Amino acid sequence: MAYWIKINYERNDYVIDLDRISAFASAPSSKITFWLPNSAHQIIINQQSDPEGYQQVMEYIKQVSAHSLSGSWIQVSYERNDYLIDLSRISSFCHAASGKLTFWLPDSSIPIIINEQKDPDTYQKILDYIQRKTGYLLP
Region 64-91: what's the mean pLDDT?
Answer: 86
3-state secondary structure of 18: helix
Identify the weakest region by mean pLDDT among 12-21, 31-40, 66-75, 106-115.
66-75
| pTM assigned to the model | 0.89
Region 72-86: what's the mean pLDDT?
Answer: 91
- Residue 94 belongs to a domain: no
Identify the weakest region by mean pLDDT among 8-22, 34-48, 59-73.
59-73
Give the side-chain half-sphere CA count within 13 A for 71: 7
- Residue 73 belongs to a domain: no
Taking 60 as the threshold, does the pLDDT of residue 106 lie above it?
yes
- Residue 121 belongs to a domain: no
Distance CA 71, CA 6 (A): 27
Specify the amino acid at residue 1: M
pLDDT digit string, tens, across residues 16-49: 999 999 999 998 878 999 999 888 899 999 999 8
pLDDT band at 70 (very low <50, low <70, confident <90, very high): low
Share of the chain above pLDDT 90, in %: 75
Tell me the residue range of the domain where 25 lies.
4-66
Supply the pLDDT for residue 39: 87
Complete DSSP assignment for 54-117: HHHHHHHHHHHHH--TTS-EEEEEETTEEEEEEGGG---EEE-TTS-EEEE-TTS--EEEE-TT
- Residue 39 belongs to a domain: yes
- Residue 11 belongs to a domain: yes
- State the CATH number of the domain containing residue 16: 2.40.50
